[in-house]
Structure 1
């Protein structure tokens, strides 16, 4: 179940990442991340009301861990991710994301004592190689495509590291406390949003200046779609995965998001190269090794 949830999250995030990349050209990274967090938090509360799940007394340890995870993984990590999208676009940003799984595995090994079997490490390596092979396929880029490589690498590394730390902290909360994935996702998202609010106030950066401009309705629509798919459903599935699979395995499967973009691109009439197909097959071998490894 944990592995399947991670793959489902990867599939959903592959679509939402394309939308975030478009939105990152219109809004600042901080504002975009805050809107995502607030809207997703409302969605989590609505889901809990529908499912009859209430935020009962949460163990202090779980609450603290998940808040720190939200500060780091969502407040800092997602903002860095949005900045990377602005600097180098979705394709190369996703490539930087493939560094997160080994970081997660190493951090989980050091702090949680999670020892991945050799099969899992081989699967992680093969999956990363397959994803990297797909993303580095040279395809013609539009003239206005973002190309600030230095900033993109810096923010991509920050995003990968913070996502790894956030995942391990969430995994720790699931290992030693009794908390549901939905409640944990709400706590993480709320904590990340709180950090972003303080950050924006400190910088005195205005928000929602674009709402009265032409095209605002379309932007709201894209934000809602990306938030519902990626920040709401995707994060919920990520928390389920971290609850039921080893952190390194979960993060590796989630990093396969770029693979799911290929069928969408083909349906939209874009040419998918033989190299990309080979990369998918390589990554699928790695995914196969990871199933059951945790």
Structure 2
């Protein structure tokens, strides 16, 4: 496994850099899945990317460790599995359902609460409180991102009003449930990775392997239930076939998004969370809508307004304040162990991490 750096300054620097790396992955992933979703629909994209990611991670872990399941069942593994179900399956489906009811702008505004909810949960469960400057930086980032989101065109919102699916109150409720689900999943994921750099620590690769397997299975079950009930969870393909991307382009972007999102993007997120406070990692990744702006302008020719630029600057300033006002490096003694955790003298976790 890749050992965690012991020097606090190095931990902080590497944690911040890997969080920004995760954000960069999600920028490309968001654009890729948007393209693929225009042809396949968001539910199909979610199912396929989850299954592909689970299979790839399973094979990668087997190649590196010599076993498909190189770990003993423990409380940590259970926490990671539940984290995958809540964060990668239930949370995503609630968010997709919110997109269908409230539109992307309102849904993304509500999703800005993920860093706040994660910070509130991490405070008692992970012993990771934020100081007043940290909370101020987080709020600045959220306001900046919200400003950018509100400034985006609302074409999809108008379509929902026409086709009868528009229900903003229900959409907000679904988005809030998604925020809670994703935030709990984030905290459980960090709890599932044992503290410190000892032999019982579960690295980011194995952690995401467990989460992805559980999440993919849950997604398949939910998709099957939705299909049997003739319920649409996500957004459908574009109604006009002439506006859909070609099969090769859609398939290629789906594969790219899968590689950079649920595989590399979340592995970097988990590695960052092991080094710095979870709220800091989550806030940095929440800058994704801001970072997408120049790419959307180049790829989709979306206008970048002065309001969007100011929102982006505010968001970046908030992240700077948050990261440099916090002693973000996590000492082993600071991390509260989950209830019932016991040291295991014989574990295979160390052979299968990143």
Larger Rg: 2
2:288 aligns to what?
A: 257
CA displacement 1:87-130 (0-9 Å, x = unmatched): 45544433222110110011111322221222221111111111
1:240 aligns to what?
A: 271
Q: 2:23 aligns with which of 10, 32, 40?
A: 10
Q: Does 1:223 align with 2:223?
A: no
Q: Does 1:37 align with 2:50?
A: yes
Deviation at 1:50, TM superposition (A): 6.3
TM-score (norm 1): 0.85
Query: Map of 1:74-223 to 2, 5 A cutoff?
Result: 74-137=88-151, 139=153, 141=155, 145-146=159-160, 148=166, 149-176=168-195, 178-203=201-226, 205=228, 216-223=247-254
Say which is worse superposed, 7-16 or 245-254, in terms of deviation.
Answer: 7-16
Native 8 Å contact 1:167 1:242 kept in 2: no
Say which is worse superposed, 12-21 or 276-285, in terms of deviation.
Answer: 12-21
Native 8 Å contact 1:71 1:191 kept in 2: yes
Q: 1:270 aligns with which of 298, 302, 317?
A: 302
Unaligned runs of 5+ in 1: none
Q: 2:315 aligns with which of 274, 283, 287?
A: 283
Native 8 Å contact 2:117 2:180 kept in 1: yes
SS at match of 1:291: helix
Deviation at 1:156, TM superposition (A): 2.0
Deviation at 1:146, TM superposition (A): 4.4
Q: 1:61 aligns with which of 51, 56, 75?
A: 75
Partners of 2:226 and 2:150 in 1: CA distance:
36
Deviation at 1:200, TM superposition (A): 3.5
Cα gap change, 1:143/1:71 in structure 2, threshold over 3 Å: closer, same or farther?
closer
Cα gap change, 1:256/1:110 in structure 2, threshold over 3 Å: closer, same or farther?
same
TM-score (norm 2): 0.72
CA displacement 1:54-105 (0-9 Å, x = unmatched): 6532460210000010111111011222333444554443322211011001
Cα gap change, 1:90/1:204 in structure 2, threshold over 3 Å: closer, same or farther?
closer
Native 8 Å contact 1:2 1:241 kept in 2: yes
Partners of 2:191 and 2:217 in 1: CA distance:
22
- Runs of 4+ aligned residues of structure 1 deviating over 6 Å after TM superposition are none
Partners of 2:104 and 2:294 in 1: CA distance:
16
Partners of 2:102 and 2:31 in 1: CA distance:
13
SS at match of 1:178: coil
Deviation at 1:160, TM superposition (A): 1.5
Cα gap change, 1:242/1:145 in structure 2, threshold over 3 Å: closer, same or farther?
farther
2:346 aligns to what?
A: none
Partners of 2:247 and 2:298 in 1: CA distance:
28
Deviation at 1:188, TM superposition (A): 0.4
Deviation at 1:16, TM superposition (A): 2.0
Count of equivalent residues: 289
What is the CA RMSD across the aligned residues, in angstroms? Answer: 2.9
